[in-house]
């Protein structure tokens, strides 16, 4: 604890700034960069300083509000009853202190409590009037939240109308979540589409609820668990424990399990029982919530500015286990990058058996001093992705081996290279079997040629049977060849061949992206398809012309030029031509151009409520172009939150800048 007020004031200012940044990343961007424990540590430190020096408390301090500003692009809803957040702790001693404080405030009284799972999702509030769903909102700043009614209506577990005898007004609170299996599937789809993966189910749920298009939210396996109420009219409840039966009666999903308790020992026993069960729930849980049962006792205990005095959240430590690192394996990607993966003595982490974990790259292994044979600590990042997070160096016996990246590719035996100033090590053999598999997977992915049925397992079979040597062989597959493969009946064969045939009509930009040219992503592929009338013109273009195209530039332009000077690639292109793929750029239908968009060039930057690719499609459909970099030729910059350097450059050049609200008005 700081004893000098001037020193404390400086630290408090720093903590407020840190917490405000973390709040924004968590509540608005759904992209947290700070662990819950570190955030809670900073918050508690700020509380301690303001307790010691009350004069340092400011109206905008995070301790004086709930946090999380509503997104400006959504309509706003004022909560009938404020949505306060809970104080939380990682310490059983602090849970004990919490209960003893209540005993001092309610002397000579039994204080029954309820213990429930703390669902790791997004807090939501739904209002029903006469049993009909009127609106749904996020927590927002605790007083005002975002109107997410259309997206909440897409969740099948949410009734549009309550069952049975309904209250006149029923405001119910809960957590929207993405179930574990659905999260894994969604990330696999995003990976195949070349999109960034979500860090954890909570972020995925937040991103889903912030979609302006409810059709996108409807495609995601969202669920909801209700655990509390706001305003209620037409029905009386005396205890929180009565709520569970009422929720079920009304057709609202609620907690899987809950425990009654009226002593510290019973509370701690319930916390431990929940910890043993929680990994079996379909949703992520990160703690236990302890709430006073009787509403009359809650009224006596009251609230602080931020939280109720009658409830607390106990958060479990991220499960960390020890196991033996048996080996470090190498995976080879489609561009030849070698990625180290930990082969572990199988161990249960977070309720599932783990035998592999990420090690990221050679530099990360050196930084952690990870050695083959070590006992290592393994955690699930976001309780989803296993990762090696530490080493028991005290248990070393001298037999452990330092890891070194191989000098040759483990798949094909070719030399590997590490470019200057690059972390990545790359196999130089473009015909490496691992690269072949990954390139075909990329070509067939949803973000490229979108060939359903040509996933990782099928590609591995086809390559192993020497039916596929490169992406050109995809269009030579036939029923007779496929019939020899495992689990390929007539219907599966017909579906795959139909998907392959359908891919021939994909637009040119998808083909360019699907070719897997080094450094060429979706934005560059679109820019190239917009610039050239067909693939032949692109192939014949000079390095200088390529480098002048927005979203291409010096490095990408040289990479494209080199790709089309390689004889093997030229032969591949001719095979694709003979197969009947579309080589011509799409002609934009006349009459779709809109004022404010025709013949304009846009740059999209910052955090927006919709994926940038989707917004880019909207602009292109109205006659505009989309670029990745700001220049004097840029017409408009669409700037979301935390826009950064592109926004600053637009200001310097005097380029017109629109926020998302202004952009939506222009669309209208």
pLDDT tens per residue across span 22-64: 765 664 455 666 777 778 888 888 888 988 888 888 866 777 6
- What is residue 594's predicted lDDT score, i.e. its pLDDT? 67
Res 68 pLDDT > 60 = no
DSSP symbol at 56 = G
pLDDT digits (tens, 9 = 90+) for 72-81: 567 889 999 9
Q: Give which of 492, 118, 170, 160 is closest to 312, Cα–Cα.
A: 118
Beta pairing, strands 311-315 & 88-89: parallel
Q: What is the CATH number of domain 437-579?
A: 1.10.150.20
Please give the CATH superfamily to which domain 5-64 belongs.
Answer: Helix hairpin bin (1.10.287.610)
> Spelled out in words, what is the top-level CATH class assigned to the domain 76-315?
alpha beta
Res 334 pLDDT > 90 = no
Options 1.10.357.10, 3.40.50.10190, 2.40.50.140, 3.40.50.300; CATH for 601-667 is 3.40.50.10190
DSSP symbol at 54 = G
Please give the CATH superfamily to which domain 320-417 belongs.
Answer: Nucleic acid-binding proteins (2.40.50.140)
Beta pairing, strands 222-233 & 426-427: unpaired
Q: Which residues are catalytic?
A: 118
Res 503 pLDDT > 70 = yes
Q: CA–CA separation, 591 vs 479, rounded Å? A: 43
CB 657 within 8 A of CB 649: no
Q: Is 363 exposed, middle or buried (0-12, 13-18, 19+ CB in 10 A)?
A: exposed
CB 405 within 8 A of CB 425: yes
Q: Which residues, including other chains, have CB under 8 Å from residue 310's CB and lie 6 or more apart? A: 102, 291, 292, 297, 298, 301, 302
Summarize the confidence of residues 113-141 as an average pLDDT: 92
Instruction: Provide the whole-model pTM.
Output: 0.53
Q: CA–CA separation, 271 vs 94, rounded Å? A: 13
CB 342 within 8 A of CB 358: yes
Q: How confident is the model at residue 588 (pLDDT cuts 50, 70, 90)?
A: low
Summarize the confidence of residues 152-163 as an average pLDDT: 87
Res 590 pLDDT > 60 = no
CATH 2.40.50.140 boundaries in the chain: 320-417
Query: Where is 459: in which H helix or E strand?
Result: helix 456-464
Dig out the tokens for 274 from the structure.
């929940």
CATH 3.30.470.30 boundaries in the chain: 76-315
Summarize the confidence of residues 104-115 as an average pLDDT: 94
Percent of the chain with pLDDT over 90: 44
Q: Give which of 440, 26, 446, 454 is closest to 195, Cα–Cα.
A: 446
What would the 3-class secondary structure string for 103-119 be? HHHCCCCCCCEEEEEEE
- What is residue 28's predicted lDDT score, i.e. its pLDDT? 45
Question: What DSSP string runs through 385-405?
Answer: EEEEEEE-GGG--S--EE---
Summarize the confidence of residues 309-313 as an average pLDDT: 94
């Amino acid at each position: 604890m700081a004893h000098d007020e001037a020193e404390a004031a400086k630290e408090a200012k720093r903590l407020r700034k840190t917490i405000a940044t973390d709040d924004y990343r968590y509540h608005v961007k759904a992209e947290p960069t700070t662990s819950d424990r570190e955030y809670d540590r900073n918050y508690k430190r700020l509380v301690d300083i303001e307790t010691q020096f009350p004069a340092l408390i400011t109206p905008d301090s995070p301790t004086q509000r709930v946090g999380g500003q509503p997104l400006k692009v959504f309509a706003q809803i004022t909560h009938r009853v404020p949505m306060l957040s809970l104080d939380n702790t990682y310490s059983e001693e602090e849970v004990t202190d919490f209960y003893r404080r209540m005993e001092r405030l309610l002397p000579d009284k039994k204080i029954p409590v309820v213990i429930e799972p703390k669902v790791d999702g997004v807090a939501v509030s739904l209002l029903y009037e006469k049993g009909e769903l009127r609106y749904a909102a996020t927590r927002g700043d605790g007083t005002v939240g975002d109107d997410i009614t259309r997206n909440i209506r897409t969740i099948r577990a949410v009734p549009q109308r309550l069952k049975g005898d309904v209250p006149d007004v029923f405001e119910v609170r809960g957590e929207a979540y993405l179930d574990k299996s659905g999260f894994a599937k969604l990330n696999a789809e995003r990976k195949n589409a070349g999109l960034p993966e979500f860090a954890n189910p909570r972020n995925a749920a937040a991103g889903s609820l912030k979609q302006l298009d409810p059709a996108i939210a409807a495609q995601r396996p969202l669920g909801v668990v209700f655990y509390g109420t706001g305003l209620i009219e037409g029905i009386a409840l005396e205890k929180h424990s009565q709520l569970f039966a009422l929720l079920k009666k009304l057709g609202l999903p609620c907690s899987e399990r809950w425990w009654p308790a009226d002593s510290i020992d019973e509370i701690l026993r319930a916390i431990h029982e929940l910890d043993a069960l929680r990994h079996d729930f379909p949703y992520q849980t990160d703690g236990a919530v302890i709430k006073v049962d009787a509403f009359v006792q809650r009224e006596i205990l009251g609230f602080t500015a931020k939280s109720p005095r009658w409830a607390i959240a106990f958060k479990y430590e991220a499960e960390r286990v020890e196991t033996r690192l048996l080996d470090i394996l190498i995976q080879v990607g489609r561009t030849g990058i070698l990625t180290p993966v930990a082969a572990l003595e199988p161990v249960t982490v977070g309720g599932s058996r783990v035998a592999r974990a990420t090690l990221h790259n050679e530099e990360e292994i050196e930084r952690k001093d990870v050695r083959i044979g070590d006992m290592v600590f393994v955690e699930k990042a976001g309780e989803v992705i296993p990762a090696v997070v530490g080493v028991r160096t005290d248990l070393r016996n001298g037999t452990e081996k330092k890891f070194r990246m191989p000098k040759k590719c483990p798949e094909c035996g070719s030399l590997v290279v590490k470019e200057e100033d690059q972390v990545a090590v790359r196999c130089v053999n473009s015909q490496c079997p691992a690269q072949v598999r990954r390139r075909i997977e990329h070509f067939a992915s949803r973000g490229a040629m979108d060939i359903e049925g040509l996933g990782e397992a099928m590609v591995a079979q086809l390559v192993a049977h020497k039916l596929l040597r490169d992406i050109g062989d995809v269009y030579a597959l036939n029923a007779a060849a496929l019939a020899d493969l495992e689990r390929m009946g007539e219907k599966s064969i017909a579906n795959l061949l139909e998907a392959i045939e359908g891919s021939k009509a994909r637009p040119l930009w998808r083909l360019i992206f699907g070719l897997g040219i080094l450094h060429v992503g979706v934005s560059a592929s679109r820019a190239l398809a917009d610039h050239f009338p067909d693939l032949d013109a692109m192939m014949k273009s000079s390095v200088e012309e390529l480098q002048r195209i927005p979203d291409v530039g010096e490095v990408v332009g040289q990479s494209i030029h080199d790709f089309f000077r390689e004889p093997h690639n030229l032969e591949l292109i001719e095979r694709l031509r003979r197969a009947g793929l579309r080589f011509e750029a799409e002609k934009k239908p006349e009459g779709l151009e809109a004022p404010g968009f025709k013949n304009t060039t846009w740059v999209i930057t910052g955090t927006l409520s919709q994926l940038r690719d989707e917004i880019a499609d909207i602009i292109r459909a109205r006659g505009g172009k989309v670029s990745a970099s700001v220049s004097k030729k840029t017409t408009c910059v669409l700037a979301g939150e935390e826009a950064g350097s592109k926004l600053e450059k637009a200001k310097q050049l005097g380029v017109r800048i629109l926020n998302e609200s202004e952009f939506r008005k222009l669309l209208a």
